[in-house]
Structure 1
């Protein structure tokens, strides 16, 4: 659902407020060159809890790199823009990042539909984008992935989140083989993320032998779902699978339970937020999947969690905090490789050097080993199923999906 941008200028650079012109690229700030990493996410609106967690986690990565002087002679700076979860705003933000020649990479966005409007401008500008949240499979592999004909779409797009293909398969595997639920009603919000996730779930669930007893679409801006809830009640569904995000999933689940249907709602990482139980007084037993193992269980995440708390951010790191830190750090690693390959200076064609370095990036991150395959997808396919217990998400099971 999300993406990242940092790029250095090719050719001449204009004077900026953060320092004077540097002939090697970037802006000079004393004895250091400033490299900007853009962050695009919904910082206001219904999905702001996830967006602010992304912004803060990227900020923490930059501050950590600066404190460690991880890249000699480079000072990292975060520039965060609010896309309001709107594709048109994301497209405008992409142009703002592109026009700032100090930006060598961009982290984000949260939503796959927003990313669809950002990918081509970034690709045309040669500006690296790393999303911690975009899961739409077609973003990297094109629509041909459905028939086994995957083709990389944009050389500049990478992600630390895994794809809907993998997440949908994992959810189907968990619901059918572990929860032993065989009849599912399927709903999506018609957005890129939700529709793709629902399609992957359906394909795999039916291959396992599960039955889709009904399908529907909803408007994600609606909050009254009693009409569709009444339809579900007639089908004998044992669970509701929802492709979408928590602002609609919360009231949908509660109205489902209010109608007397004591069945779980299950969704993907778009509902895996601390906000979901707050919007749903009857969330107990609901399910979600999210990428990777819970960061709280990872030794590799201990420093991240401790440093995030110490930094005093007002908002939680939420579902994408660890993935965002790793996405940001992948750009920092690429900048490091570019600098080391250019006699210790940021190259004049910084964006090209960073993009070229992304294929070589591999490091032990917050969420595990970070590297990218030939499509720009993460090589880490581990997923976790969560259940709401005592009004909070609790991990149930982690693993890689069995394909139906």
Structure 2
């Protein structure tokens, strides 16, 4: 029997009705931070920021119609582990990486990402050496050591010009780099350093350094290093009767510093970006954090911003292709984030610089002017 043409068309069309197009694959967002070891407290906060940013972006439809998923790897806060973490994330074909925490871990990992063409945005690695490498794929949402070093050095020069100032570092890329920036600023302002010293990251007994500080009768101590050793140095110095003022860098913006130093951390100062938690730009993100686990550490907002920057750049590029996204990031345009407007110079550094001096008081820190 001859089948009418319209019927044949219907018959041939029937199988097509059962064919569905494959769903778009999720976009993997890599997270490389210390989730174990002595820096895990801040690393966990950084991951929390990325997790919340992904959740909030997905709630608004994701990026280019695709959902984001977090692929987190523990780098232990160690350079060798960060390389392994970077290789793992590259193998997992992540679209970008939020990480790593310190300059010492970001530097070797960033080389892996550069070689593989993967964008990495660090929320907390501040060494100028990072962006001096010429990697087109490296960016940050934080500032630089030379910027905060100038603020710290200027504060010391103004308030302790006639006294004895000690500058101590932990010999890490971050700690020494920041201490050298402070030393350079003091020198430029004609203020001598009465004592230069070094510690070793990871050690716990700083009695010999405390003895040197006491013998020199210093009035102020700047410590370039991470919060675990900073807390111990302050505690041991105060226990030994040293009354000198203590200052450090942005690493002290961690509750773990106060946990270690306790009440002896009272009055300890640090440089950090202006408190974005007081800014209207952070309100939406803060509301999300508070609904899902309570008040975030300030580091969480900078990792949140890292994911926001990439997501907005990908949307503007109309692609997750790293070269296209990097071109948008390098274009100089502003991105709206939880830490305020973010735009980049040719090196991948933020154009915005708003470091101020904070002081710890009764378990919390606040800008000095508001104490």
Is the TM-score greater than 0.5?
yes
Q: What is the aligned counterpart of 2:241 among 251, 256, 260?
A: 260
Q: In the aligned structure 1, how far is the partner of 2:159 from the partner of 2:212?
A: 26
| TM-score, with length taken from structure 1 | 0.82
- The 3 A distance-change label for structure 1 pair 293 and 30 is farther
Q: What is the aligned counterpart of 1:52 among 41, 44, 50?
A: 44
Task: Give the deviation of 1:181 after TM superposition.
Answer: 6.9
- 1:377-397, Cα deviation, whole Å (9 max, x unpaired): 011110121111123212215
Q: Which structure's relative contact order is higher, taking Cα pairs within 8 Å and 6+ residues apart?
A: 1
Alignment-derived partner of residue 16 in structure 2: none
Number of residue-to-residue matches in the alignment = 349
Q: What is the aligned counterpart of 1:217 among 198, 203, 211?
A: 198
Say which structure is richer in helix. 2
Query: Superposition RMSD on alpha carbons, in Å?
Result: 2.0
Displacement over 3 Å in runs of 4+? 28-33, 178-182
Q: Secondary structure at the match of 2:50?
A: helix
Q: What is the aligned counterpart of 1:285 among 267, 285, 290?
A: 267
Q: What is the aligned counterpart of 1:40 among 32, 36, 52?
A: 32
CA contact (8 A) 2:290 2:296 kept: no
Q: In the aligned structure 1, how far is the partner of 2:245 from the partner of 2:287?
A: 34
| TM-score, with length taken from structure 2 | 0.89
Alignment-derived partner of residue 117 in structure 2: 126
Q: In the aligned structure 1, how far is the partner of 2:313 from the partner of 2:156?
A: 39
Q: What is the aligned counterpart of 2:291 among 306, 310, 326?
A: 310
In the alignment, structure 1 segments of 5+ residues that lack a partner are: 1-27, 143-152, 340-345, 399-404
- The 3 A distance-change label for structure 1 pair 216 and 178 is closer
CA contact (8 A) 1:31 1:73 kept: no
Q: What is the aligned counterpart of 1:163 among 123, 144, 162?
A: 144
Q: What is the aligned counterpart of 2:186 among 195, 201, 205?
A: 205
CA contact (8 A) 1:181 1:239 kept: no
Give runs of aligned pairs for residues 1-400 of structure 1, distance below 5 A.
31-101=23-93, 103-142=94-133, 153-177=134-158, 182-281=163-262, 282-290=264-272, 292-312=273-293, 317-339=296-318, 346=319, 350-360=321-331, 362-397=334-369
